[in-house]
Structure 1
């Protein structure tokens, strides 16, 4: 089957310039015969300017953009009441939690030849920064966080829908809101729409434990919220954290040649995230609840954008909250940081249900990202388009798969229907058609393309030397790659340069050339995750992996919320099976304060656990209150100290605990992705962007 496109970097165009909302991209210089020289003003000393091919690719992209539709800008600006007083919000720990000023570079000139025009557009839309009235009785603060915070008027106080990522940004938003329209009325309830951290992490900026235990503030969430909030990010959490550096471009400075925006919002704030457990769970598919005298109809939508998520309709206001199921973008079916692939057909059907259950009368639709939509016709338009967006991805990928198109081809074959491409709210600002198409194929058919040659492939580092040898060695590959680079064939250049870097990870010339290739590919992307991934790889190839301190993504609230079983399961993941060969033992674990009992057993180099049983022949019985175990789980007080001071007691062979501890591996979130990028010894000292950040955000 003929593929839709072979490579991004060689798009034929006519005309020397194009217009984008009055902005002009001028034609680039004559074709270069070698890689562009380092660019003055680039954040990295080896950084390059966009090539003529990249400039022409961005010029060509405008032909497919619905430039005449400016409704998003009108809707984004509607209802503005007041800006946040400061462009910087300080974290309680003393660092800057949010710096809005750095994103305003995108307003300093009409266009940038290193930013896709559609990406520049969503970045400007994400520059909203302050308090907005959705309708009388519903208000949002947008801008100082990846997600919005929404305030809904009850009979005696306020109800918050989603409470941002960080305590500091949530607190600043609440203070602005109270100052402008809050009337001094108290907070009555917080609703977590779903299980991702940017929707609950800011809770401790506004709510205390005492507020909840006293009954002053109710916390409402979909059924199963706590289980999925924790488990989704624990088992592969370290790998997800590392991959997040690519998807979210955590090491890239905000700049024309670096990070631009994350699509859903600008970026995750660097503040303190927390979690307070729900006091009420919404468990029925459709459940009507009165909250502070206001009638709400909850629609549970499990296994859509999140494992547990819910939309809400407020009949009295004709207001429809679509959580993160419908925003101003194509969302992720497969998310680049890693997560179970989402079910796009299920997602589509829940949108359809909302359309016909609530959307026939709703007059305003708002969500946890972006801006509201007003008017019933507009609401129905967006709901239908988003319904069709996810259904089409599911159906057409499987349509092609049933004709033999594989996971390694589908991203070059599947195309979003032209009618949906012409809608800004269906553009790929978070998910992309390319990686989502592969996600659907993975969901149904898995990783294998059914070619036996790829069934048990060699690892790249093992196969690459043969490729390099057969291509005539590094000099030949570099020469050919430079020719491909000069021709704008960047994906082809990346194919062969990747083989060379895999085979010769110490080859600086090869790594620099591959970085140049990735950089051009990054500039060309409309999707922030794709752009960030290419540019992050280029950064690490040039600089190495920074070795600054990492921040933990598992705070005390998350530790407390982690079930004992999940903690024991994770010990099985941390254990190095090779070290455990030949060892056998069983442990009874008893936590009297919550009545739990477990058998933890090591056999066949595998650590397992089962709840609700005790082994009469156990080698060791360990008794410790769950509250005290949490201190050990958090790494604050080792188990041997708990035993020494009598907090925990043991019967049997205590040496087993030492044996078990010796089998555990501490995961480092700075593992190598691109070959030969182990940090240079001075990288963290000389590179201003070398400090690493750890944060799991599950969008």
Structure 2
């Protein structure tokens, strides 16, 4: 047996330096009557010490707070306690731990993000916003490995957008040092907001393409500009989380298939083992092995036959009609008898587009953006759409690898302006899906067709508003 090489445990240097931010305990005066306590951990927000006889202060929370607390301490409580203990390093030895107004006009904002009950405090006269747990100097924990409910990324980046819209002079997060100055705040909030939207949009884009969770985790990479931003370093959350210790950063399905085949000694050995599994009525294992071969060689006839047979057999054995339909349809797809991307399915898309409200149609842009194509990751631009029949406006803003939609927005300095009607725009989408002709005739484009095409080339081909 091969001898295992010993490797020294060396803490990540960048992570150690990041922890230094919190090592110094201090109370920072942000502006008059606003203070931030740094280095006192969670006790800052949940503990208070009062002299005997002093009236207890009121504690304000969002109405969802009781449900958030109850859900943690009831359903799957045991699993959450174990996984929380791992996440927060409860059992990690100390030697190895690296980090662990009366009369004032105050506006309370619901800003779901880290939790759905999150609230922020806006003090208009001071232009100060207290952002709770929604902004960290680290990539946010959209999914926690401890088992808390997954955070809704759309809610989260929408909450950050609310902060941007308020245009504060002071931003006071609960878990980090305050930020002072409009420009400094915007330089943090814009990439932070866009980073969350990027992960959501690209994950959904690849889900719609049929990729597996492991494949998506490999494919979704923050654009370099965001990945290197100090407020998006992955000290807290990461893009490819999984709670299992062996799977926080899983291999993609093609990588895994390649290694399984190599471990077995080649494709023929894998097929041989798959046939043995089939003969022993271990149909699921036969299906998985055949699938590994087809990932590496999609035209392998032996593997394809075995996969089709396994899918059909598993389908026939199901008591659940949904499962049966799923297995059998997959078998038909593998044989090439059924194509879920053919003309008949496209007709359904046309009908949907015709009936979709304009806002929902534009929202599809977000999950069709292709940052990996050409220079799209670094492309920036603003397209203003004006609809003469409804006197409405839409803005498509491209930056940081995301497409941002602003309903009824009016861009001051749009790079391209498209004038049309809602009906003509929908016709343009349908024409594009149909693969017929150039329909610049129905779009009045100001700012240059070439520039508009360059923007459209950053979207999935089926969703581009102009033919290349």
TM-score, normalization: structure 1? Answer: 0.33
Pick the structure with more helix per residue: 2
TM-score, normalization: structure 2? Answer: 0.49
Whose relative contact order is higher, 1 or 2, with alpha carbons under 8 Å and at least 6 apart?
1
